[in-house]
Amino acid sequence: MELARLNEEFLSYLSVECNRSPATVSAYASDFRLFLRSLGAAGPRLGANDVTRQTVRQYIAWLRAEGHKPNSITRRLASLRSFWRYLRDNGYTETDPFLRVSIPKRERPLPTWLTVEECERLLAAAERQPSIAHAYRDRGVLGLLLFTGLRKAELLALEVSSIDLSEGTMRVERGKGGKCRVLPIPLRLVSALTDWLELRPLCRHERLFTSSAGTPLGGKGLASILRRALYRAGITKRCTLHHLRHSFACMMLQGGCDLYSLSQMLGHARLDTTATYLHTSARDLHRAIGKHPLAGGEQDPLQPGNRRDLPGHVSPRVPHGHVARAMPHQLGDGAVIPAIPLQERVERDATRVNDVPAVGKARVA
């Protein structure tokens, strides 16, 4: 049987028996179409036993030549591996072309997030618009993303019955992988959702958030809400809906939340996924080293009042060829001394050497 027909059967299996979301099934279908395109005209006519390790290696090389990043290549190969596992389990083939094939190492870049001050500006900007109903809706939408870390699909699937404002809880019915979880709602968010429910138009559907026409809010409408709020807040950094989820996770960890509780709130199946947010800054490392028994509980040196301006302290040298022209140096007493250009420092040091007594000159030499 041809691969194209077998893949249609596999997609049906994912949708009906595995209860995968339409977006997941669509992603698997897209990955398979890309694989067939890499095989050229002969792709649609190939059978399951016609694909070998060499075919897979050529596909990886083709993806790299097309400019796909390692994470994208790894995900597309994982999709095809699932397809071939289905073929083996159902007796369509006995071979595994992915066996002993080197897979690109998955990259885990540090997540991008908004600071606490930027999040406050974003929530305030959501209310600055002519329509009161839109202001309450946008504040509720952005508040849910920032206070609970919901995914885009989870927020769009929320219904009015999912929110229990009297108990301060929210039930996420359609989480990733079909999982359900119950999340607490902070009092500030309860107030925002209460205002929105009072002005929510009467609709024939039960979705929590609606468009201006009363239809369920969609992905484009959600992106538009964020884009308008970012513009009004004056936030110019790149920020997507998923970056708000990153912001929630980072703020929770900075506030002292443990990793297991955060993984439950985010709906992660594995702790190592949540551990992506355990990035450290220079200040975090200074605080950590201060707990060393030999450090004597020293204070954070990055705070303005804690710099080592003691006799005998040597400041770090500026690397040769690097001149700090515009960045001033902040001292512990609050004084600001502008950086001295390199040529002026050379002339000043030469003058000081010429002023040294004869004995001193000999020592310097």
Average pLDDT over residues 2-24: 89
Q: For the segment 25-79, what is each residue's pLDDT rounded down to a tens digit? A: 999 999 999 999 998 877 777 888 888 999 999 999 999 999 999 889 999 999 9
Q: How many other C-beta atoms can be found within 10 angstroms of the C-beta atom of residue 24?
A: 17
Does the structure show a pLDDT above 80 at 122? yes
How much is the pLDDT for 110? 67
pTM of the model: 0.64
| Total H helices, total E strands in the chain | 15, 5
| CA distance linking residue 18 with residue 189, whole number of Å | 35
- In DSSP terms, 337 is beta-bridged to 329
Contact between 123 and 141 under an 8 Å Cβ cutoff? The reply is no
| CA distance linking residue 280 with residue 284, whole number of Å | 6
How much is the pLDDT for 321? 40
Active site residues: 151, 176, 242, 245, 268, 277
Q: Which of 93, 89, 99 lies closest to 56 in space, CA to CA?
A: 99
Share of the chain above pLDDT 70, in %: 76
The residue with tokens 């870390």 is 149
Comparing 107 with 147, the larger pLDDT belongs to 147
How much is the pLDDT for 314? 42
Structure letter (DSSP) for residue 2: B
How much is the pLDDT for 295? 65
Does the structure show a pLDDT above 50 at 311? no
Q: For the segment 254-270, what is each residue's pLDDT rounded down to a tens digit? A: 888 888 899 989 988 88
Q: Any idea what the Cα angle at residue 312 is, between residues 311 and 317, rounded to 5°?
A: 120
What is the three-class DSSP state of 170?
A: strand
| Beta-sheet pairing, 329-330 with 336-337 | antiparallel
Say how many CA atoms lie within 13 Å of 203 toward its Cβ.
19
Does the structure show a pLDDT above 90 at 108? no
